[in-house]
Amino acid sequence: MLKKIVFIVFSFCFYVPGFASQLPDYPFIHAIGMAYVSVTPDKGELAFDVKASDADAEAALALAVERLAEVRSLLAQQGIPDADISIRDLRKEIKKDAANPNSGGQVVELSYGAYVKIRDLTKWQAIISALLKLNNIDKVEASFDSTTRDKIELDLSIEAAKDAQRKATGMVSAYGKHLGAVTAMSEGKLKSLSSAIGLVSESSSSHAEIERRQAVGIDLFVIPPLKLQASIDVIFKIK
């Protein structure tokens, strides 16, 4: 269920030195409509490193290749096609031998970045459980999304715009006025206007940045809901 909150700022045209050229030359109302929704994800992505180290570079490579084969095998058992598995970002480092710190020896550490698309989240727990049992797996991160995200965001924008119009109508009617035509509209903030009349600083973060952040799994076995929002800045004439 959408939870909506709308902040309304009622602003008539006025003169402020330095700002007058930025303001409309007619009576107006500036309304910010916001709409929120919590969505259950239906797809996810895993990102993790496969690391292998050995004093011998070829041995380190052989171990990394073996572990990558194990990763592909367990994913195949869960029905993940090879096309949804991406292995890249090979990194090679020469490090001190942590197992024998007093020996002065060095080891070659190889690290591959692995990225896996999970299109069926009913298999999520089984995949995570099997993956975490493997050795040489590090920095496991999870992100989630919805296949209907575009439609959800469009619906949120429409809902936010309706809220802005409804609330602006209520505000002007309290003064015996009527809402006129829309003269400006923007997703996020109309920064130049908002800053000019003291509604927001230029350094404020935009709602769009918040809307599009993907949830990151802290507990890898838990699939958190996606919390999406949309904001619409609208300027209406006042009749």
69, with CB counted inside 10 A (0-12, 13-18, 19+), is exposed
Q: For residue 195, what is the domain's CATH number?
A: 3.30.110.170
pLDDT tens column, 24-66: 678 898 899 999 999 999 999 999 999 998 888 899 999 999 9
Q: Considering its fold, how many domains does the chain have in total? A: 2
Which residue segment(s) compose the domain that 178 sits in?
A: 3-39+148-238
> Are 47 and 124 members of one domain?
yes
Q: Which of 221, 226, 190 is nearest to 207 (CA)?
A: 190
38: amino acid identity, one letter: S
- Tokens 């999406």 locate to 228
Q: Phi first, then psi: give them for residue 79, nearest 5 degrees.
A: 80, 20
End position of a domain, from candidates 105, 123, 145 = 145
Sheet holding 85-96, edge to edge: 85-96, 106-118, 43-54, 137-145
pLDDT tens column, 106-143: 888 999 999 999 999 999 999 999 999 999 999 999 99
